[in-house]
Structure 1
Amino acid sequence: MRDFLPADKARRERVLAVIRERYRAHGFDEIETPVMEEYSRLHAGMGGDNEKLSFSILKRGMDSEAIRAAAEDPAALADLGLRYDLTVPLARFYATNRAQLPTVFRAIQMAPVWRAERPQKGRYRQFVQCDIDIIGDASSRAEAELMTASLDVLDALGLEGGVIRVNDRRVLDAMLDVFGFAADERPGVLITIDKLDKIGPSGVVAELRERGAAAAAVDAFEAYLGRPAGTPTFDDAGIRSALPDGIPDDIVDHLVALGDTVAAARGVEAPLRFDPFLVRGMGYYTGTIFELAHPSVDYSLGGGGRYDGMIGRFLGQDVPAVGFSIGFERIVDLLQDAADSGERSLVLVHDRDVPLSTLLRLKAALVAEGARVRLEQRPKNLKALLERSSADGYTTFAAVRSDTTVESLEIKPLD
């Protein structure tokens, strides 16, 4: 968990403002949910490995004897926990407030989440997520809207050239069925396949054999990995060329329709890449899954997928849902030198004898004109003051004396 100095905080808020503005422009509405959810909801088997990283909150009023008695049962010790993502809270929010929401609900959530990560570069125990979700639309239009809006965000931030890797959990399941993996071993097989980028095809095959997966199925999968393969185009022929025979037509048709819709929305060839080995580890995904990539980095800048089964757990009936999460912390790190917001910002450096009434009158007049103004008494080391002001995001300064007026201010750049 981190502190942020003024310049860092200002930069983060500028990036958040761009994300919020672009998502709102695409018809999404912002909501807010509590930072805590019920322990049972956070540990309902929907959050994958993130459930193991959840911060739990001790039940109130437990004495030492009660704590000792419940020490072996986390559910008996805690009844609440800090949210580890924004999707589980959204599902609960929708189930609670459905009567007041439109049939197709487009939500924005931009808020901190908490995970008990082992601290390391790029991994934090508190970080901001920026999510958009569409609830109530089962068609590929929902995925297309999410992708188009998120690509628009990257463009608005100056990160043109983003590409979305796309797959479908139904494709993965059908592939494993074609290869011959039994249903009960598929979750473990997918965990290993998800390591393909890290340990390579030979490493994946070796780990599958170590896991004791069906030998014939591993052989079939190894042969599939060894076939000649290029980068498949995102159309019917390209997607089918990247898959073994036997994948249901309706799944391929769904992906093709998605590519056509995104291309129509963007007015150019859709920046989508079909990746039959994209897994994404969250247990609640039921259909399309995707990750946002950018040529400047070798890690994803966001991702998401369809989770049609989650809301039904709270509501008692299935509701289609799909979401996309922008990797805010990673994007902010890429924009270390992002330009300021364009606001007029000014430091008024005044002598000791300037009346307070003069200073506040000047400041009020400049603020009324839309400027951001800071008052600073002239120190012995003016250069250090100006350097600090520049680091805090100010762009100009002016000297103030007893007879200075708004009209007579000589405004100079800090750089």
Structure 2
Amino acid sequence: MPAVNPPRGMRDFLPADKLRRERVLALIRAVYRSHGFDEIETPVVEDYARLHAGIGGDNEKLAYNVLRRGLDADGIRAAADDPAALSDLGLRYDLTVPLARFFASHRAELPTVFRAIQIAPVWRAERPQKGRYRQFVQCDIDIIGDATSRAETELIVASLDAVDALGLEGAQVRVNDRRALEAMLAHFGFAPEEQSGVLITIDKLDKIGPAGVVAELRERGADEGAVAAFEAFLSRPVDGQTLPFGEGQIRAALPDGVGDEVVAHLVGIGDAVSAARGEGEVPLVFDPFLVRGMGYYTGTIFELAHPSVGYSLGGGGRYDGMIGRFLGQQVPAVGFSLGFERLVDLLDAGSDADEDAVVLIHDRDVPLAELVAAKAALVRVGSRVRLEQRTKNLKALLDRAAADGYTSFAILAAGADPGALELKPLS
């Protein structure tokens, strides 16, 4: 028998799973729209050259490429050593590269400051494992055309509000700035040409710890004096970790020499987020070692954290250089992406039922005209209705309906008045 499972790293969703996913998406969309963002849609494929232009970081290596049409066996053999000759299109591996292309295509039709929502599947040739899939949904909001900290503030507040709407109160955003990272590495003595490799190692700090990071830096052949200075910085006593987000915490977490402009930028974001949220303590934490692996980030970077899990639930940052690749001029841009698949896994399934979803159970002898008339009457008053023929094991039928999100049931007999149906709760 041929295999009937979906491809590895991809999933089917049963009705109850799909219902939950759509409810989460609807809540996220509603919050984002309330913050003034507008939803767009882009094709699932983009030009191969665009997806492999050096702006997608390591994700470019995970792209699914589409074989050029019309290539015969000889053509494939001739182009075997040149992926660009074999493929002219590829499945999108994120939503940021398509957005940059979209803005470059439609700039004249868009407002000066454009606030975009993109919620759609993306594809990466990952090694499938728990929580990591080859097809998954991304929930992105981006602001293009605003170089000020207002853009970061709007993204952070909207994202926190979305998580709150899902019932996951208590989330925090870890914040850093790539300019602060670069200044810190220069302070320790890392040469500019080795900083990208150093950041790859520092990004593993949560996984392998300070000793592991220092050991790997030495294995990579990084400048020994710089590694020693960094090691001393990691082992210093830190008093500022308990301070609320603000200049004191940021200064305590950084070495001397980081520019006042960067610190003031981060402090301004904290003050604005605090004002918007109306809370006593701003839900931000400064993390001087937050890296975010994408090489296109140019300024503020952030990750969404929740105390119930040890991994991030989303993140993003400023990527002012990307859109200029398509337009030939710099356009400021910053985005925040929620980890939709991880968020769905955290949510309680108990709220997935429709408020007014009815299973209309009928006897075998009910005429078709009476059956559809009764269903139509319920639909007209706003109910979701499923028709089910009565079975011997009525409890199993009702349990299945409850699992699928239905909240009540009625039994229709032949000749009964549709207006006199008695609705009973399933729970």
1:267 counterpart residue number: 278
1:303 counterpart residue number: 315
Say how many residue pairs are matched.
415
1:348 counterpart residue number: 360
Identity %: 73
Provide structure 2 residue ranges, at least 5 long, that are not aligned to the other structure: 1-9
Which of 180, 186, 199 is the equivalent residue of 2:189? 180
2:77 counterpart residue number: 68
Task: Tell me how far 1:92 sits from its aligned partner.
Answer: 0.2
Supply the RMSD in Å over aligned alpha carbons. 0.9
Contact 2:353–2:404 (CA under 8 A) maintained in structure 1 = no
1:222 counterpart residue number: 231
How far, CA to CA, are the matches of 1:317 and 1:121 in structure 2? 41
Provide structure 1 residue ranges, at least 5 long, that are not aligned to the other structure: none
Q: Quick one: structure 1 residues 102 and 338, their matched pair in 2 at CA, closer, same or farther if it must change by over 3 Å?
A: farther
Contact 1:233–1:274 (CA under 8 A) maintained in structure 2 = no
How far, CA to CA, are the matches of 1:194 and 1:36 in structure 2? 30
1:140 counterpart residue number: 149
Contact 1:11–1:338 (CA under 8 A) maintained in structure 2 = no
2:121 counterpart residue number: 112
Query: What SS class does the counterpart of residue 319 from structure 1 fall into?
Result: coil
How far, CA to CA, are the matches of 1:62 and 1:156 in structure 2? 50
Which of 379, 383, 392 is the equivalent residue of 1:380? 392
Q: Does 1:409 align with 2:424?
A: no
How far, CA to CA, are the matches of 1:270 and 1:149 in structure 2? 14
What is the 5 A alignment of 1:177-256?
Answer: 177-230=186-239, 231=241, 232-256=243-267
Query: What SS class does the counterpart of residue 310 from structure 1 fall into?
Result: coil
Letter of the 2:359 partner, please give it: V
1:169 counterpart residue number: 178
Task: Tell me how far 1:336 sits from its aligned partner.
Answer: 4.1
Letter of the 2:244 partner, please give it: T
Q: Quick one: structure 1 residues 144 and 250, their matched pair in 2 at CA, closer, same or farther if it must change by over 3 Å?
A: same
How far, CA to CA, are the matches of 2:285 and 2:28 in structure 1? 23
Task: Tell me how far 1:404 sits from its aligned partner.
Answer: 2.3
Contact 2:20–2:349 (CA under 8 A) maintained in structure 1 = no
1:101 counterpart residue number: 110
2:4 counterpart residue number: none
Query: What SS class does the counterpart of residue 323 from structure 2 fall into?
Result: helix
Query: What SS class does the counterpart of residue 207 from structure 1 fall into?
Result: helix
Contact 1:343–1:372 (CA under 8 A) maintained in structure 2 = no
How far, CA to CA, are the matches of 2:372 and 2:399 in structure 1? 24
1:89 counterpart residue number: 98
Which of 128, 131, 136 is the equivalent residue of 1:127? 136
Task: Tell me how far 1:46 sits from its aligned partner.
Answer: 1.1
Query: What SS class does the counterpart of residue 365 from structure 2 fall into?
Result: coil
- TM-score, scaled to structure 2: 0.96
Moved more, 141-150 or 69-78: 69-78
Query: What SS class does the counterpart of residue 131 from structure 1 fall into?
Result: strand
2:167 counterpart residue number: 158
How far, CA to CA, are the matches of 1:411 and 1:338 in structure 2? 21
Could you give the per-residue CA deviations for residues 342-388 of structure 1, whole angstroms, max 9, x where no partner exists?
43000011001111111111111110100000111111221221111
Contact 1:47–1:284 (CA under 8 A) maintained in structure 2 = yes
Query: What SS class does the counterpart of residue 407 from structure 1 fall into?
Result: helix
Task: Tell me how far 1:294 sits from its aligned partner.
Answer: 0.4
Contact 1:28–1:132 (CA under 8 A) maintained in structure 2 = yes
